Amino acid sequence: MKSICLALFFFFTPLIFAQRKVQLVILFDTSNSMDGLLNQAKARIWEIVNEASTITFQGAPISLEIAMYDYGNTSIPASQNYVRKQLDFSTDLDLVSEKLFGLRTSGGDEYCAAVIVSALNDLAWSTDPQDLKLIYIAGNESFKQGPIATGLACELATDKKVLVSTIFCGDRAQGIALGWKNGADCAKGDFFNIYSNESVQQIDTPFDDAIIEQNRKLNETYLGFGANASVSKELQIRQDQNALGMSKSVETERYLAKSKSTYKNDKWDIVDANKADSTKILQLSDEELPDPMKGMNAEERKAYVQQKTEERAAIQKEMERLEAERRNYITTQKANSETTKTDDFGTAVATSLRKNAKTLGFD
């Protein structure tokens, strides 16, 4: 009888799957000639995040982790092969943006294999074969430079089941001759060439102003707690301003990214923290609480956070509707455009990301 009960229990109990990860690492050449590349990346980072945010696994949302390195910069010691880690794997998308906008170029030696090996060895890569693990390296010098052979980098990537895609900034034939296609092929990644000094194609839409207004409302639902509350809130607003400084299209993409499940701030925002752990709001001292919640008892705290959670959900739903309208508008404009499509940094990463996600069984 006991064995029958156990069998029935396992039969009727739904399986609980761990949330699948997409781990994305970007390696930026920050030598003197790469200002155009960084400008393209700043213009496309939120489009890349939005593309990643549409990926699901068996209908469930994924966890997005992003890491970043730069290489080929004279401010990096030669003893480090001119390789510098800017950011460990992080789910903090505001911090990702802060690091990207903080990159500066300065001439140096670009050792592609060295930076790939550093990323493969130093980062906490998932060991789950169903997680999607990607490296994108962009630059414009020979892929074969430096003390580490391309083959060694490829072997390590294969062992860790990490796909390494290469983005050569210049003519395609030149990129092939300089080893960039071979670097992608041996690591089972994709090879792209882009013209990094060209401005990216951006399309303003009739829905942008409404999305911008929804973001203003969304920001009001973020209530910081703890010692880092003000610093984290300032970081969020600063990244809004960085996107605004690029263009209206970039600003809109940033705000849409903030409306998705991959944008989470449970370490400082009371609403996200409550989603991650519903006991958190009861554990905080009165001094740690956001100003509007100071002096509240347990039931009042729960009610207030629930109200803010519902407010945010309604705003996110409206932003989802506006995004669908915006996407349709952009698709129509591109279809009717006579401009020849060329890859830029953002389209290269987004195209590869989507393709490799489907290959691994993501929705």
pLDDT in tens, 168-205: 999 999 999 999 999 999 999 999 999 999 988 899 99
Strands 163-169 and 188-194 come out as parallel
Is residue 91 a part of any domain in this protein?
Answer: yes
Residue 13 pLDDT exceeds 80: no
Within 8 A by CB and 6+ apart from 71, the residues are: 27, 28, 29, 30, 81, 82, 83, 84, 108, 110, 111, 112, 114, 115, 139
Strands (E) across 153-279 are located at: 163-169, 188-194
Q: Are 82 and 73 in contact (CB under 8 A)?
A: yes
Which pLDDT score is estimated for 108?
81
60, 197: one domain: yes
330, 346: one domain: no
Is residue 17 a part of any domain in this protein?
Answer: no
Distance between terminal CA atoms of the chain? 41
Residue 58 pLDDT exceeds 70: yes
Phi-psi region of 73 (alpha: psi -120 to 50; beta: other; left: phi over 0): beta
Please give the tally of structural domains in the chain. Answer: 2
Q: Nearest 5 degrees, angle CA 212-CA 217-CA 221?
A: 135
Mean pLDDT of 1-30: 66
Is residue 250 a part of any domain in this protein?
Answer: yes
332, 349: one domain: no
Task: Name which of 343, 352, 357, 351 is nearest 168 in CA terms.
Answer: 343
Which element (helix H / strand E) includes 173?
Answer: helix 172-177
Residue 316 pLDDT exceeds 70: yes
Mean pLDDT of 126-150: 96
The pTM of this model reads 0.91
Could you tell me the CATH number of the domain that includes residue 96? 3.40.50.410
Model confidence at 17, in pLDDT bands (50, 70, 90)? low
Alpha carbons 277 and 69: distance in angstroms, whole number: 32
248, 350: one domain: no
DSSP conformation letters of 113-125: HHHHHHHHHHS--
Residue 3 pLDDT exceeds 80: no
Residue 15 pLDDT exceeds 50: no
295, 327: one domain: yes
166, 225: one domain: no
Mean pLDDT of 347-362: 93
Is residue 321 a part of any domain in this protein?
Answer: yes
Is residue 352 a part of any domain in this protein?
Answer: yes
Domain of 315, in residue numbers: 208-336
